[in-house]
Structure 1
Amino acid sequence: MRIAINGFGRIGRTILRQVLALPQDKGVDVVLINDIAPLETCAYLFKYDSTFGPYPGQVTQGNAVLDVDGRCFPMTHSPDLTRVDLSGVDVLLDCTGIARTSDVASQGLTAGAGKVLISGPSPAAEITIVLGANEDQLGNARIVSNASCTTNGLAPLVSALDKIGGIASAHMTTIHCYTNSQPMVDAPRGDLARSRAGALSMVPTTSSATHLIDEILPHLAGRISGAAVRVPTASVSAVDLVATLERGMTPDAFQSALRNAVDQSPVLGWTDQPLVSSDLRTRPESLVIAGPETRIVGQNQVRVFGWYDNEWGFSARMLDVARLMVER
């Protein structure tokens, strides 16, 4: 699979780290990286990562090339992707966060890539795919959204619960680490609460997963609400879901059914340990369900709590969905 990365920020750099960890015979070849930042800056930020730690190998830069442990990745720095030659690229991974209109989202196709996978919600995508929830709907779409990190954690869980007991209604709260969309010190934003310093307060806000669930699992549209609380941690977030099931069951039956669903899922994990968020850093699953925090009240109301590394797990899904796109 020949991929190119447009946007060498948090997700773009994490994707490259994961590619480098794969055996080279796995067939994932990064043929080009494009970012508007200078090559020296890109190399520095890849080598020294405040969340995941320094890259353990050697990182240098040459003439328009990022060299990591002797593997050379050509780099361009064009704000207009149509000026970059992407001939022979199977999938462009657009990690810029700005591919929200059709003219921007289609630039990779114009440049020669076979398909485009966008690292976030995008109205310009032909379809939004979440592995473990609706990948059977992919078809041969050429511009695909990988949804959001929270949606990747929530949708497979909702799908599993609906199969177990049928979801009558549910509410999700994501306890989410701060991101670059929040200021480090108080500064104006459209959302007044989001204008406050992200590393100093818990900030109640919205989550794109609320409306994306309706799109990904349309038979549940209108049954699931959601909200977010941004918290002063740098990585790893959580999904706290309370759902009312249509079919009641005993606590033992529910736990058994949920464990079985996790065992069969390509993206869900489980832990029986009393973990905290930092323990889940670099976990590749979309959601790791915390067994000790999961329970049923009566026979119909369930509470499921799960962790997700909102950068590492999401980046892993970018590569997984790109593979599916190439196979179609």
Structure 2
Amino acid sequence: MTDQRKRERPDNYFSDWKEREALAEAMIPQVGALAREQNVKCYIYGRSLVNQSVLDIMKSHRYVRQVEHNELSEFETAPVLEAMGTMQLGPSHIDVGRLAVEFYDKAQGEGMTLEEYIAQQLGFLVQSTQRPVDKPVDVVLYGFGRIGRLMARILINKTDGGDSLRLRAVVVRRGGAENDLVKRASLLRRDSVHGAFQGTIRVDEDRQSFVANGNEIKVIYADRPEDVDYTAHGINDCIVIDNTGVWRDDEALSRHLEGKGVSKVILTAPGKGQLKNIVAGINDGEISSTDRLISAASCTTNAIAPPLKALDDEFGIVSGHVETVHAYTNDQNLIDNYHKADRRGRSAPLNMVITETGAAKAVAKVLPQMQGKLTGNAIRVPTPNVSMAILNLTLKKETTVEELNEFMRNIALHSTMRKQINFSASPEVVSSDFVGSRAACVFDAQATIVNGAHVVCYLWYDNEYGYSCQVYRILEKMAGISYLTYPKGDSGTL
């Protein structure tokens, strides 16, 4: 990036802030109108501007300095949004930040006006009638635990005009309480880790549903997947997301397909046997139109597969060990009690617990070139969310800390895996800073260790929300949803 956009230090920081704050505030209705009326979603370097607060929008601008080693100002993006608002753009996803940077760093120096540049770059979207999918796709969540509720939040937030994915129902076992429906809705409304639901939720006891931001979501009680008749609730050809992890191979998972109205199934756990294990951004190209059963693998496999692929492509991996420092899960006990697995019976909030992980072996189902090269183990620690994977690798060629970090920075910011890998250069970040991260992992550059061909890389990941975002990306792929994008070739919408 050139230095053309570098602004002089303001004489008065507070006045400058208030001006930029006003511009960000004015962006909210502009972004909302584009999303609501034209199905055009705006981003700044991959960060969505839809349904964001003034401060969130300003923070997204500030984030760009990590990408381009230069500031991006609201003074630069505001005119871009204004120009876009005058164009009849078709359904699409547009990175307003990249448009602004490209204009002010390149096209402006060539004598083009902003309006001319935007008309040139977005011309392929004007009057476009290409829809992301032919008709809305119904989605059902089977299981409403940690991942199920986060998937619900994502799906509700991404409903927009309702012309792509629609969350229609959740399936649970009856809890036994008379106010079971109210309790389910309350768990969606309030979350000790991820905070309050962004919107409104009401319960409709008569219709056995709750309504979240206008989305009516049926609550269906069932003990077996094959017993559910979704068509009785007006749900047809739906994609079921199984969050229970009970049925994990082709034969068991296919029980969902016996239910009326089911088209496809996604498992949010590692698949066994011949079930395809898919990590979004890595091997989702293996999903075919005929696939009806897919596993989204595990949160740890999603965290390590992207950086392993990147490092293997660039440096070659000879062998390695993956150590996962993982937040405790609902499978563990709050206090010491019997557990069929070794050590997991000991109190999760009070102990570090050594346990096994299949992620190192499972990654070979996603990256066959890793077969036999990795070992793995896990330590459960007394934190409720956000985990870390430590990659201890021997490479085929030597490198340096600086070279490896710069390579991973470019992968995180400019490659096809930028939705999977984020990059942090801060020496002060800790696990709670990554709650709500949408990436499969965040590469911690300050922790990198290199000794010739031996490297140690540290990866943070929100094992709940980041993983759920990966599942959503697979869901879009399974549903056949595809938006026109700027820059062209950007994949996914989250």
Question: Structure 2 length as normaliser, TM-score?
Answer: 0.63
Contact 2:238 2:263 in 1 (8 A): yes
Segment of structure 1 superposing worse, 21-30 or 5-14: 21-30
| Identical aligned residues as a percent | 29
Amino acid of the residue matched to residue 288 of structure 1? V
Counterpart of 1:106 in 2: which secondary structure?
helix
Larger RCO (CA under 8 A, 6+ residues apart): 1
Please say which structure displays the higher CA radius of gyration: 2
Counterpart of 1:193 in 2: which secondary structure?
coil
Gaps of 5+ in 2: 1-136, 482-494
Segment of structure 1 superposing worse, 19-28 or 264-273: 19-28
Q: CA RMSD in A?
A: 1.8
Query: Does 2:459 correspond to 1:310?
Result: no
Counterpart of 1:315 in 2: which secondary structure?
helix
Match of 2:283 among 105, 120, 134: 134
Counterpart of 1:169 in 2: which secondary structure?
strand
Moved over 6 A (4+): none
Q: CA deviation at 1:147?
A: 0.6
Segment of structure 1 superposing worse, 12-21 or 196-205: 12-21
Contact 2:167 2:215 in 1 (8 A): no
Q: CA deviation at 1:23?
A: 5.2
Q: Which has the higher strand share?
A: 1
**Which residue of structure 2 aligns with residue 287 of structure 1?**
441
What is the total number of aligned residue pairs between the two structures? 327
What is the CA–CA distance in structure 2 between the aligned matches of 1:82 and 1:33, rounded to whole Å?
Answer: 15
Q: CA deviation at 1:257?
A: 1.9
What is the CA–CA distance in structure 1 between the aligned matches of 2:450 and 2:213, rounded to whole Å?
Answer: 50
* Structure 1 residues 317 and 125: CA distance shift in structure 2, 3 A: farther
Counterpart of 2:458 in 1: which secondary structure?
strand
**Which residue of structure 2 aligns with residue 75 of structure 1?**
219
Gaps of 5+ in 1: none
1:47-196 paired onto structure 2 within 5 Å: 47-62=189-204, 63-87=207-231, 88-111=236-259, 112-123=261-272, 126-139=275-288, 140-196=290-346
**Which residue of structure 1 aligns with residue 369 of structure 2?**
219
What is the CA–CA distance in structure 2 between the aligned matches of 1:10 and 1:201, rounded to whole Å?
Answer: 22
Amino acid of the residue matched to residue 450 of structure 2? I
Amino acid of the residue matched to residue 277 of structure 2? T
What is the CA–CA distance in structure 2 between the aligned matches of 1:110 and 1:125, rounded to whole Å?
Answer: 20
Query: Does 2:163 correspond to 1:17?
Result: no
Question: Structure 1 length as normaliser, TM-score?
Answer: 0.94
* Structure 1 residues 80 and 192: CA distance shift in structure 2, 3 A: closer
**Which residue of structure 2 aligns with residue 242 of structure 1?**
392
Q: CA deviation at 1:124?
A: 5.8
**Which residue of structure 1 aligns with residue 164 of structure 2?**
27
What is the CA–CA distance in structure 2 between the aligned matches of 1:321 and 1:75, rounded to whole Å?
Answer: 24
* Structure 1 residues 52 and 251: CA distance shift in structure 2, 3 A: closer
Counterpart of 1:162 in 2: which secondary structure?
helix
**Which residue of structure 1 aligns with residue 450 of structure 2?**
296
Counterpart of 1:127 in 2: which secondary structure?
coil
Segment of structure 1 superposing worse, 69-78 or 162-171: 69-78
